[in-house]
């Protein structure tokens, strides 16, 4: 998915959450556990996923476009989930060398 040229390193933090209209049984279970531990002030909990992606792209626009495609095609289920991306240039090296 790349083209020839100079590539820059990016790190994308992808936050995947259930859509507001979707019931969240995991969030309800977590809230119940927090209440059992004495955290009665917790009104609601929504559970989700956090995915870190290290990639190389020619520029930020290309990196953002690719990560959006990843979110649409694999990282999130568009029927029940939303996602947002935080992208950083000059990312640190991926854990384990990225391989």
Please tell me the predicted confidence (pLDDT) of residue 90.
79
Give me the pLDDT at residue 95, please: 82
Q: Name the 3-class secondary structure at 15.
A: strand
The per-residue pLDDT for 67 is: 98
| Residues with pLDDT less than 50, the chain | 3
Burial class (CB in 10 A: 0-12, 13-18, 19+), 12: buried
Model pTM score: 0.84
Q: Are strands 48-57 and 81-89 parallel, antiparallel or unpaired?
A: unpaired
- Ranges of each domain in the chain: 8-91
In the chain, the DSSP E strands lie at 8-18, 48-57, 81-89
Q: Does CATH place domain 8-91 in 3.30.1280.10?
A: yes
pLDDT of residue 84: 98
């Amino acid at each position: 998915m790349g083209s020839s040229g100079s590539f820059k390193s990016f790190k994308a933090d992808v936050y995947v959450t259930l859509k507001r209209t979707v019931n969240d049984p995991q969030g309800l279970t977590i809230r119940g556990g927090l209440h059992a531990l004495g955290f009665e002030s917790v009104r609601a909990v929504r559970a989700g996923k956090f995915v870190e992606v290290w990639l190389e792209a020619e520029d930020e626009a290309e990196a953002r476009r690719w990560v959006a495609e990843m979110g649409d095609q694999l990282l999130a289920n568009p029927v029940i989930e939303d996602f947002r991306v935080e992208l950083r240039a000059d990312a640190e090296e991926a854990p384990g060398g990225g391989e």
